[in-house]
């Protein structure tokens, strides 16, 4: 059996990548499209999605977009109900709240858990039945190394991300036999637009030093891991959290 590169191809599959107008979501969408998948981009503004869809189409890729806020489950159901079959879900939306514990009240905590974790449950509820019916599916939940390694000032975010990895394992245990695998993808420090200020701050410099590779990751460096987890090459990878952090979480001191 040929392993490379055919087993990394995604021709004939449709992939939804949430939060894909920019950052890691956009990079993973480009990678999945290059591997042959039809990609559905997602975000809260059609005006930000349309140029991205056009960019993919100009490159000869098959692309579309769905638009809803993760907090709006009715809109989520309508948009995904009209989207056609989806074989691969990369759930990438993740809002942050970097305030200290004392400043995060109950409502703010609950809201972030809802958008980052409970919304993943809603997405899976909508997409999993079709995957089971077709006997093939890939669920990839974007977590964070902060879900396993604590840092001050990330209490709600870390709780949600740790929950996503546990959710991935629970789904893997329950649905593997139905042809659907579920894994988490755990990025370290990536120099996305959202992290631009952090990356050049003293805290960002400390992260650079802490990393065995002595740098932040470039956003495109997440794409290969997502393509792998989505592909036939990962057919026996299930319930895993794939860490892409340059070795930060493997080491005690940089």
Ligand X SMILES: NC(=O)c1ccc[n+]([C@@H]2O[C@H](COP(=O)([O-])OP(=O)(O)OC[C@H]3O[C@@H](n4cnc5c(N)ncnc54)[C@H](OP(=O)(O)O)[C@@H]3O)[C@@H](O)[C@H]2O)c1
Point out which residues bind ligand X (CB under 6 A): 19, 21-25, 43-45, 48, 69-71, 92-95, 115, 142, 144, 187, 189-190, 192-195
Cβ nearer to ligand X, comparing 13 with 52 = 52
Q: Which helix (H) or strand (E) holds 177?
A: none
Instruction: Please report how close the Cβ of residue 11 comes to ligand X at its closest, in angstroms.
Output: 26
Nearer to ligand X, 71 or 237 (CB): 71
Assigned token pair, 186: 């755990």
Instruction: Give the integer Cα–Cα distance in Å for 18 and 39.
Output: 11
Taking the least distance from each CB to ligand X, the nearer of 159 and 194 is: 194
Is residue 217 within 8 Å of residue 244, measured between CB atoms?
yes
Please, are residues 162 and 218 in contact by the beta-carbon 8 Å criterion?
no
Residue 203 C-alpha from the chain's centroid: 24
Kindly report the number of other CB atoms within 10 A of residue 193's CB atom: 10
Q: Cα separations (Å) of 6 from 35, 36, 157, 187, 188?
A: 9, 11, 37, 26, 29
Cβ 24 vs Cβ 30: under 8 Å: no
Angstrom distance (rounded) from CA 116 to CA 118: 6
Q: How far is the CB of 21 from ligand X (least distance, A)?
A: 4
| Closer CB to ligand X, 98 or 134, in the complex | 98
Least distance from ligand X to the Cβ atom of residue 146, Å: 7
Contact 27, 220 (CB under 8 A): yes
CA distance 139 to 222: 16
Is 252 assigned a catalytic role?
Answer: no
Q: Which residue, 115 or 182, has its beta carbon nearer to ligand X?
A: 115
Task: Find the shortest distance in angstroms from Cβ 44 to ligand X.
Answer: 3
Least spacing, CB of residue 42 vs ligand X, in Å: 7
Find the catalytic residue in 30, 52, 96, 157: 157
Residues annotated as catalytic are 157
């Amino acid at each position: 059996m040929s392993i490379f590169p055919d087993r990394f191809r995604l021709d004939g599959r449709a992939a939804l990548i949430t939060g894909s107008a920019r950052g890691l979501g956009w990079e993973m969408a480009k990678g999945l499209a290059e591997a042959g998948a039809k990609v559905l981009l997602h975000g809260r503004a059609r005006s930000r999605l349309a140029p991205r869809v056009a960019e993919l189409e100009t490159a000869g890729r098959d692309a579309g977009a769905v638009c809803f806020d993760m907090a709006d489950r009715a809109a989520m159901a309508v948009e995904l109900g009209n989207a056609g079959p989806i074989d691969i879900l990369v759930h990438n939306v993740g809002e942050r709240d970097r305030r200290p514990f004392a400043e995060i009240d109950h409502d703010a905590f609950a809201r972030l858990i809802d958008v980052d974790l409970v919304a993943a449950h809603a997405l899976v509820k909508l997409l999993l039945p079709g995957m089971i019916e077709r006997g093939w599916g890939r669920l990839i939940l974007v977590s964070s190394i902060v879900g396993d390694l604590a840092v001050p000032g990330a209490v709600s975010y870390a709780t949600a991300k740790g929950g996503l990895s546990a959710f991935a394992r629970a789904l893997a245990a329950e649905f593997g036999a139905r042809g659907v695998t579920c894994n988490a993808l755990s990025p370290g420090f990536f120099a996305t637009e959202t992290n631009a200020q952090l990356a050049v701050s003293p805290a960002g410099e400390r992260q650079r030093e802490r990393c065995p590779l002595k740098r932040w990751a470039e956003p495109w460096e997440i794409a290969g891991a997502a393509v792998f987890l989505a592909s036939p090459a990962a057919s026996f990878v299930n319930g895993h959290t794939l860490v892409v952090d340059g070795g930060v979480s493997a080491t005690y001191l940089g």
